[in-house]
Amino acid sequence: MKIDVQTFMQKKVIYTLIALFFISVGYKGQRHEIGVQLGASNLVGDIGRTAYVLQNPLKRVSDFGIPFYGGFLYRMNFNPYQTLRFNLGYSHIQFRDRAAVEIYRNKRKMEGTNSIVEADVIFEYNFFPVNEEQKSLLSPYIFGGLGAMLANTPQLIIENDFNRSTGAAKAPDNPNDFVTSTTYTLGKKLTMAIPFGVGLKYKFNYNWALFGEFMFRPTSSDSIDYSMVDETNVKVIYNKDIPGSKSKSLLQEAPYKDIAEAVVADILKGRQIGNINSKDWVNTVSIGLSYSFGRPPCYCD
């Protein structure tokens, strides 16, 4: 029996969050926190470096920009240890084969950038009661949750037509006597992510706290680095000026249709780079500043 590891992980995270939520609601009172984060995001995919954190910026800043992350967050502290957090962030990632240590990637010389808008729901657990009313306390924390990412994705238009220069448009009698043209564009795609990681929070004032964290986000997409085109992002067009007996185009009938579909399959296969079973990761290193407000929590028994 084949087990979908990613689906299993997603279900496990959901069940864990639900259980922790019901444990937390038994505490009276709550406290609110808003904050900002700044840092750098990097891609772990089929193109570019495979460093999981702290990717060095590429030299051609005018072409690649910088590996940037910026975000806003809201925390609802159920008690001194447990927090439910909502994130809204933006990542600019860059990837270039020449920066990779693998020889085959260096020779391939592929590169690119992507811009990502993301939203996360995260559960945090502090090892020390950093959300108490004391003025200063330091605590490491762990977190995990669910997220969604809106990223650029390659879209492909495949247009099938007869080879007009050979006269096939007038007398199409050879199944191979037609041409296929491809056009690539960029669109947007929503993909799921599972953010998790570790952090360190320092509350240096009654209302203010500093924190830093490493966040890892395995996604359900393999096209954030444009290494493949999803079938849902492929549009196939057939010429309409040579009608068939049962369809709008002669190319949509046998034997032309079978050959046209084989051509499309070859194009998609040739467009795939790397391991199609390995999904992309978008990871972030960041520091943040948060401000607590609202009525003080009543952590009562």
Residue range 181-231, pLDDT digits in tens? 888 888 999 999 999 999 999 998 888 999 999 999 999 998 898 888 888
Structure letter (DSSP) for residue 296: P
Domain extent listing, the chain:
5-154+185-231+277-293
> How many whole angstroms separate alpha carbon 46 and alpha carbon 222?
8
> How many whole angstroms separate alpha carbon 191 and alpha carbon 33?
28
DSSP 19-66: HHHHHHTTS---EEEEEEEEEEEEEESSSS---SS-PPPPS-HHHH--
Neighbours of 56 (CB within 10 A): 11
* CATH of region 5-154+185-231+277-293, choose from 2.40.160.20, 3.40.50.620, 2.40.50.140, 3.40.50.11810: 2.40.160.20
What pLDDT score was predicted for residue 16?
56
> How many whole angstroms separate alpha carbon 82 and alpha carbon 59?
42
> How many whole angstroms separate alpha carbon 21 and alpha carbon 1?
33
What pLDDT score was predicted for residue 18?
54
Q: Which two tokens stand for residue 150?
A: 């809106």
CA distances from 173 to 71, 81, 163, 250, 256 (A): 60, 75, 12, 11, 10
Residue 289 in contact with residue 201, Cβ under 8 Å?
no
Residues of the chain short of pLDDT 70, as ranges, are 1-30, 52, 54-58, 166-176, 295-301
- CA 297 from centroid of its chain's CA atoms: 36
**For residue 55, which phi and psi values (nearest 5 degrees)?**
-75, 135
Report cis status (omega within 30 of 0) of the bond before 80.
no
Please give the sequence-ordered ranges of beta strands (E in DSSP) within 103-175, or none if there are none: 111-126, 137-162
What pLDDT score was predicted for residue 210?
96
From 222, 226, 204, 201, select the one nearest 212 (Cα to Cα). Answer: 201
What pLDDT score was predicted for residue 173?
60
From 221, 217, 226, select the one nearest 283 (Cα to Cα). Answer: 217
What pLDDT score was predicted for residue 217?
96
